[in-house]
Structure 1
Amino acid sequence: MSVEQILQKLPDPYSLLSVGTTGAPARQQTLRRSIDWTRDLCSAEERALWARLSVFEESFDLDAAEGICAGNLAADEVLDLIASLIDKSILSREDHGATARYRLLGTLRDYGREQLQDDTEYQSLRRLHRDWYARLVNQANSEWISRHQVDWIARLEAEQPNLRAALEHCGTGQDGAERDTGLRIAVALYPFWCAQGMLGEGRQWFTRMLDGAHGHPSADRIEGLYAAGVLAALQGDLLAARALIDDGMKRSAHAADEHVGLLDFYAAGCHAILRGHFSQAQMFFDKAVSVSRNHEAPLKQVWAWLGLALASGLSGDIARVQLCLRGISEIGDTRGTETYRGWILWIAALTTFQHGDLARADSMVKDCLRSASQVNDRLGVAGCLEISAWISGRKRDARRAAVLLGAARVVGGACIVSPQLLPDHARCEQQARRALGDRAFEAAYSNGSDTCFADAVAFALGETQTTNQGLACSDTTLTRRERQVAYLVSKGMTNRAIASELVISQRTAQGHVEHILTKLGFNSRSQIAAWIVEQQYQSAAPNQTLPTRRTGVGPGEQRAS
């Protein structure tokens, strides 16, 4: 067959390998017979677990297998059966830090799904899968302001394919109750999406769940509208941000939930910042801080302090920013709030810069940058790179300013902390262009855009004199499947073509591409393709291990999924 004919048949791999050598044993003549023969070697319990495990996307851990697929089996029996399936090469085992994860190859997963009794059984497993991951993200959200935050970031990153599958199940449900569940999952994931710079993906899921959820003014819906509004604001879509927050405030007037009162003050503060009314925003966030102290909601208290710090910083009130830093540090003494202390330190650095104390602002930015890079906080790092660029511009180091602006753009995407900061960005860019000329500016900006996360941090800290575009950034932080997708993107393939090539759904392919963009700090498919070419792996086959850019230092270096 030609390559095109093979490509057309890839969605059904059994038809592709359907005629074998007549002299070979029957089990070796076709792909299906080979898998049938493997299944015949399994016990009834192994076959049943194999079929149930097909509900997972990509990989899974033992807790998930026990919680979703055990049925009437005891926990130790599930572990024994998984070990047996590994021995038979049905499952593969991967180390993920201190945790083992397991994986079914796509063909074996599809075969397992065929063995389920009927579609009703599979849909029942999908609901169990959805509910288990809903509990997981709720636990992550409740422990987000704790010393376990870095561990939760690593775990949620590894579980992205399964979390997307759970959200997709909710998004395709026929009734509003499914969307309500999906909305609760999205609300719980909101801090993770913010910390990881996954603003576009978060907005996409909130849009889908809010469109189909029940229209009654529940706390989840109101919080979802506010969260979606903040994500829109961070992407610079101010009209959408105002509309979403306005919708939430209107609905909250009819909600009989004391939790909504806290959300109202926070939303009103955000709304005031978007309109440039900083004193009014301070008043609302001050009330949010007071109310949050009476709730067992440390994350809400942290967000209230953060909002108050931002409003105070934009007002030029550095003393109030320092007060917020002390307030959030008191929570952090027992809860662990390193990421958010870093964000407030960034606001303090911004205010110090605006007061003209460049040396102190530079020192504060570097402290914040070290902290943010340790937890792979892409938004925090992007903000630090931006202020570092402004400081370099004030010091008349135009080339360094241009490089840092380019690095900030790809690390944070289109993130805009506040529209009031856009003039500082524009002023820095204009001054650098005038000093360098358009051609030299574009070259320096491109140099920053093409660097990896770790090198951008090192450059901003002054640990290197130039950004490194070579192979120094080639560390394996993409999963094997993401490396396959990146290779196919470099060949100009669409999400639909990639899905057909890898025998996955188009939505899964899209999710992989979005995650690759986030991990590599890019914002377009052409950048992925250019990076593959740059690394000189054009001739690598899709199933080979392609080196990838490092997306962080510290705990992030150990992550894999």
Structure 2
Amino acid sequence: MVTTASAEQMGNLPAEVNSFVGRRREISEIKTTLSSARLVTLTGIGGVGKTRLALRVATQLRRRLPHGAWLVQLGTLKRHDLLAETVASTFGLVQASAAASASLIDELLGAAPGLRVLTTSRHALRIPAEHVVRVQPLPVPRSEGVVQRRSAAMQLFSERASAAEPGFQVTQDNWLVVADICRELDGIPLGIELATAWLRALSPEEILQRLDDRFRLLTHGSRVAPARYRTLRAMLDWSYDLCSDEEKSLWARLSVFADGFDLHAAEQVCGGVDLSHGVAALVDKSVLQRRGDDSSRYSMLETIRQYGQLKLGASGERPRLRMRHRDHFLALAQRCAAEWFGPDQSVWCARLRAGHANLRFALDYCATVRGEARTGLRMAAALWFYWSSCGAQPAEQRFWLDEFLALDTGPSRQRAEALQAASAVAAMRGDVPACHEHAVESLAVAAEVGAESLEANAIRVLGLATLMEGDHSRAADLLGEALRRFDGLGVVDTFATITRFELAAAHLFLGDPDRAARLCRETVRLCEARGERWVLSYVLNTLVLISFGRADLRAATRYARQCLEIKQSFRDVIGIRIIIELSAWIAGAENQAERAAELLGAGEMIRRTFGLAEHISGGYVAPHENCVANASRALGDPAFHEAFSRGDERTLDEAVSLALEGPESPTSRRRTAGTGGLTHREVQVAQLIALGLSNQEIAKRLVISRRTAEGHVGRIMGKLAFTSRSQIATWAVERRSSLDS
């Protein structure tokens, strides 16, 4: 090759015509990689900003390069046999042979030892010298909590919007809408830039409303940009056209998944054959993304998925794919229900959590397609185990059950199952009349369709409703009858086992703790024999009640910790709420009024956040009221409310951590007698301050919120009469040996 370009020339990079936003981390990573690698490929979906990022890096590096930085544009090149000629003409080279991109770059790297290549592509070139950097969309504001008004996506919107419509500003009045637009567009720079162009004609609110049909709205772009960049639709058309026929079909079919999938689900829904190569190809082309560190799950950005939905609709395959999707997730829910009473409960929780959006999508199919309501009843009832134990919102469960019960009113086994699930959900939410009404109807339907096991469970659910109403004697009769029926049928499953501990609770509230304890021991043996843990956690909950009633606080504490550890592993918010309430009672009985008040506040936060019943049954009312009265009397109303508020401000994880700390033993209290009245957690915070940690770092180390950490620091200063963190640090260092002992 012979160059005709001057060695003094610094390249042909175009000047930037507008501001460059964000990407500091990516720029640093690419520069670092280029310092040792000769070929770096930026991959990512079309419109994500690969070319702009590459140009920014090249511009910053060009003065370090002996012959500058050169841009070779291949986006409009249709013929592979013109590739080498195009590259050669850019550099002023002659006598270059033809080759495809990867082969040409490989040859160039071999021929020019000083050459560095920074290229952009939808997928890796797969050359031995290649280092790949994946370019992700811009960070978008979170959908919950405090919105980051300075996120890169928001900054890009603000700058492009002011250019499109002079005078436009992101203000206190519109920034939440702008944040929603950025999230809807997945942080894709091209989408955000196209959206801001519409500010000449539409308000941000109107743009947001129209983004449901984003491919119709975003049809205007720069007249001087390449054709594929002029619209979001054109950008995706370009990417789609570069796929093989098999990849195009798979892209469309995979769009049937609402939010991610694993390879098994893809094969079951989309083909029934090995799709690993097709999925890998779409990952390589940035159509699919691997889910974080989980290499077994894949997802599409919503913009890409909606494009796939358009193609799926045009293919005529949508009805068949939606039905197959429904069938797959119905089978998943039913397998969970069938296998729940066993050792794999945590596995099932993880699988169903990962598939939550798809489960919801399948339920929506059943609710909107004629003739599918009964299937929806079956699916909603099967998901009772997931919704009740794995941290899902009871409100959503109730929504779907009410929906299908209204759509399919005829007597059927599916209706009986759904009514029982609806009764249990009403119990969780404290709606005793609905709990009772659903239980009564379920019993009638089960009897009509001749399902004996369902009759037994309907009687159990009616017993639970009666227990919540406070009629403990009637509840014991009903639960006892249900248990006799289960035993007579030889049924040993989740519902039969639940019946035992609910019957134990009824006898406990009737004043017979010995009989309650015997039933609990029987249930523990059944659970341990099957490796079952979720029902076991509720048995442990009942054992806490029994031990607390006997004033055996040591046993109550042990059972409470065991129970909470299991419930935390499931993220069973209903059970966590109950056991934190019982932990408050224990703290109050241990004369730890401040801890009791904080636990009561944490329990109230969970109840309010998840819409749970104030009390699971009437037997909880008196101990709760006694705990509140005793703690308030011991602390005084102001201090009680302060401690209660601290608990109420905790997150779910922080509430669990508080309860798991456990009441301080007499030995522990003696050990910390020289700590100035600091609690164990406050001592930990003081020690971390002595190590130089900030409040944010302390929060991260102790898995608490920054606000909670700040509260601990404030209370330490108050108790020790200090005015600075340096005083706390000195105090902790001077007492390090006694604090660590």
TM-score, scaled relative to structure 1: 0.77
Rounded Cα–Cα distance in structure 2 between residues aligned with 1:96 and 1:225? 40
1:233–1:418: 8 Å Cα contact kept in structure 2? Answer: no
* Cα pair distance change 1:95/1:315, threshold 3 Å: farther
Given that 1:459 and 1:466 are in contact with CA atoms closer than 8 Å, whether structure 2 keeps it comes out as: no
Matches within 5 A, 1:267-346: 267-293=461-487, 294-295=489-490, 298-346=493-541
Of the candidates 14, 19, 23, which is equivalent to residue 220 of structure 2? 19
Correspondence 1:80 to 2:274: no
- Distance in 1 (CA, whole Å) between partners of 2:681 and 2:543 is 27
Give the Å deviation of 1:15. 4.8
Question: How many angstroms does 1:162 deviate by?
Answer: 0.6
- Residue 221 of structure 1 pairs with residue 221 of structure 2: no
What residue number does 2:264 align with? 63
- The change in CA–CA distance for 1:251 and 1:392 in structure 2 (over 3 A counts) is same
Match of 2:304 in 1: 108
**Using a 3 Å threshold, how does the CA distance of structure 1 residues 254 and 6 change in structure 2: closer, same or farther?**
closer
CA 396–309 in structure 1, closer or farther in 2 if over 3 Å, else same:
same
Closer, same or farther: CA 183–457 of 1 in aligned 2, 3 Å: same
Deviation at 1:288, TM superposition (A): 2.8
Q: Describe the superposition over 1:290-312 as per-residue Cα deviations: whole angstroms up to 9, x where unpaired.
A: 43343455222222223222223
After TM superposition, give the deviation of residue 275 of structure 1 in Å. 3.5
The letter for the 2-side match of 1:145 is F
The residue type equivalent to 2:517 in the other structure is Q
Distance across 2 between alignment mates of 1:450 and 1:473: 14
- State yes or no: 1:39 paired with 2:235: no
The worse-fitting range, judged by mean Cα deviation, of 40-49 and 225-234 is 225-234
Pick closer, same or farther for the CA change 1:441–1:147 going to 2, 3 Å.
same
Q: Cα offset for 1:57?
A: 0.8
Shift of the alpha carbon at 1:314?
2.2
Task: Name the structure 2 match of 1:433.
Answer: 632
Q: Which residue of 2 aligns with 1:137?
A: 333
- Corresponding residue to 2:589 among 394, 401, 409: 394
Alignment partners' CA distance in 2, 1:45 and 1:278? 64
Q: Which residue is 1:484 aligned to?
A: none
CA distance in 2, matches of 1:172, 1:439: 53
Greater relative contact order: 1 or 2 (C-alpha under 8 angstroms, separation 6 or more)? 1
Offset of residue 55 of structure 1: 0.9
Q: In 2, Cα distance between the equivalents of 1:160 and 1:346?
A: 28
Of the structure 1 ranges 135-144 and 407-416, higher mean CA displacement relative to structure 2 is found in: 407-416
Change (3 A) 1:25 1:118: closer
CA gap of 1:237–1:264, structure 2 versus 1, over 3 A, is closer
Runs (5+) with no aligned partner, structure 1: 478-519, 521-527, 535-561
Task: Specify the alignment match of 1:248 in structure 2.
Answer: 442
Question: 1:223 touches 1:263 (CA, 8 Å); kept in 2?
Answer: no
Q: Offset of 1:145 from its aligned partner?
A: 1.3
Separation of aligned partners in 2, 1:140 and 1:166: 16
SS in 1 for 2:261: strand
Higher helix share: 1
Tell me by how many angstroms 1:109 deviates: 0.9
Q: Is the 8 A contact 1:219 1:259 kept in 2?
A: no
* Structure 2 partner of 1:513: none
Could you tell me which of 457, 460, 469 is aligned with 2:659?
460
> Aligned match of 2:649 in 438, 447, 450?
450
2:351 counterpart residue number: 155
Q: Which moved more, 1:346-355 or 1:24-33?
A: 24-33
| Corresponding residue for residue 500 of structure 1 | none
Tell me the distance in 2 between the aligned counterparts of 1:8 and 1:362.
53
Identity %: 34
Q: Residue 337 of structure 1 aligns to a residue in which SS?
A: coil
Larger radius of gyration: 2
Partner of 2:383: 189
Secondary structure of 1:42 counterpart: coil
1:309-359 per-residue CA deviation (whole Å, 9 max, x = no partner) reads 222332233333332333223333342212211211111111221233333
Name the stretch that deviates more: 53-62 or 379-388: 379-388
8 Å contact 1:226–1:244 — kept in the other structure?
A: yes
Would you say 1:380 and 2:581 are equivalent positions? Answer: no
Q: Shift of the alpha carbon at 1:42?
A: 1.0
- Verify: 1:7 aligned to 2:208, yes or no: yes
Aligned to 2:599: 404
Matched positions, count: 473
SS in 1 for 2:449: coil
Give the C-alpha shift of residue 274 in structure 1.
Answer: 2.9
Distance 1:33 1:301, change over 3 A: same
CA deviations over 1:428-454 (Å, ceiling 9, x no partner): 223333443443333212211222333
Question: Partners in 1 of 2:448 and 2:217 — Cα distance?
Answer: 59
- Corresponding residue of 2:251: 50
Which residue identity does 1:276 align to in structure 2? Answer: G
Question: Deviation string for 1:481-522 (max 9, x for gaps)?
Answer: xxxxxxxxxxxxxxxxxxxxxxxxxxxxxxxxxxxxxxx9xx
Distance verdict in 2 for CA 1:353–1:53, change over 3 Å: same
Structure 1, residues 31-87: CA drift from partner, whole Å, max 9, x if none?
2222111111111111111111111111111111111111xx622xx1111111111
Distance 1:279 1:129 in 2: 47
Residue aligning to 1:127: 323
3-state SS of paired residue (1:166): helix
Q: Which amino acid aligns with 2:214?
A: P
CA separation of 1:8 and 1:333: change in aligned 2, threshold 3 A:
closer
Give the unaligned 5+ runs of structure 2. 1-164, 166-198, 663-678, 686-694, 712-741
The Cα of 1:248 is off from its aligned counterpart by 1.9
User: 2:520·2:542 contact (CA, 8 Å) conserved in 1?
Assistant: no
Q: For the aligned residues, what is the CA RMSD?
A: 2.9
Tell me which amino acid in the other structure corresponds to 1:396.
Answer: N
1:361 to 556, 578, 596: 556
- Alpha-carbon distance, 1:26 to partner: 2.0
Does the 8 A contact of 2:416 with 2:442 survive in 1? yes
Q: 1:60 to 1:470 in 2, by over 3 A?
A: same
Measured in 2, the distance between the counterparts of 1:256 and 1:215 equals 14
Encode CA deviations 1:157-185: one digit per residue, 9 max, x unaligned: 1111111111112222334xx22111111
